[in-house]
Structure 1
Amino acid sequence: MKLSAIKKILSNLEKVSFRLENGANVPDHFHVTEVGMVTKNFIDCGGTVRSEKTINFQLWNANDFDHRLKPIKLLDIIKLSEEKLGLEDLEIEVEYQSGTIGKYDLGFINNVFVLINKQTDCLAKDNCGIPTEKTPQKTSCTPGGGCC
């Protein structure tokens, strides 16, 4: 989900709720402790230099059980981040601690933001000798054609 999409969604919500992809809810008293833009410069295993930018939201649970983040407050935090940091309309990545700090993509289903599990991947499969999945091709085999 891009930053523009979450802003549009928040402008029509009465309550901000998050849950994990496995159905576990992020407690209602969560805080958004960071909004920022993260730039990752790296080299993949095939030697290609790459750069990625994402918008980062960090969710945190405190002992502040009476806390409830309102949609307008999150919109204000995003607006301030856009002004001060020059945020671009990029994909959002959410940091949330369950067993350890996890990074999630963001979805939205039934008025709830869903933290979608991210997966690692090799970006240089052709250089690493990792076979790509091939779609089986149909062949026509006729008797005596030598293919059967």
Structure 2
Amino acid sequence: MKLSDIKKHLETMETVNFQLQNGTFVPAHFHVTEVGVVTKHFIDCGGTVRNEKVANFQLWNANDVDHRLKPVKLRNIIALSERVLGLEDLEIEVEYQQTGNDGQTIGKYDLAFDGNHFILLSKATACLAQDHCGVPQEPSNASCCTPGGGCC
């Protein structure tokens, strides 16, 4: 989902709710503690230099159980980020750490909308240079990183 999409959805919403793919809701008293731009400049295992840029939202739960983020407040936070940071119409990545899961780290999620709620979609890693790495097109038990393969 792009920034323009979330802004459009927020215009018609009465409440802001985020839900994980398993149906669990982010507690209603969450805070959006950060809105920003994350830029990743890297080289993949095939030697290609890449640049990625996303709009980043960080969700956080506090002990402030009376807090409820209203759509207008989130729209205002986004507008401020656009003005101050030059935030563009980028894909949104959401950072969220589930409560009650000792030892878990922050999860990164893509974002979708089901007509009522924002859905945090699980992300996965992938090899971006499969044609250079010798990764078979069909799944197999063979490792792409064989000695002398130039991948790893």
Provide the TM-score with structure 1 as the length reference. Answer: 0.88
Percent identity between matched residues is 71
Q: Which residue of 2 aligns with 1:85?
A: 85
Aligned-partner SS, 1:51: strand
Q: Which amino acid aligns with 1:96?
A: Y
Q: 5+ unaligned residues in a row in structure 1: which ranges?
A: 134-148
Q: Which residue of 2 aligns with 1:76?
A: 76
Q: Which residue of 2 aligns with 1:101?
A: 106
Q: 5+ unaligned residues in a row in structure 2: which ranges?
A: 99-103, 139-152
Take 1:65 and 1:110, find their aligned partners in 2: how far apart are those partners?
25
**CA shift at 1:110, angstroms?**
3.6
Runs of 4 or more consecutive aligned structure 1 residues displaced over 4 Å after TM superposition: none
**CA shift at 1:75, angstroms?**
0.1
Q: Which amino acid aligns with 1:90?
A: L
The reply to whether residue 130 of structure 1 matches residue 128 of structure 2 is no
Alignment equivalent of 1:114, drawn from 119, 127, 130: 119
Q: Which amino acid aligns with 2:117?
A: V
Q: CA RMSD in A?
A: 1.1
Q: Which residue of 1 aligns with 2:26?
A: 26
Aligned-partner SS, 1:54: strand
Provide the TM-score with structure 2 as the length reference. Answer: 0.86
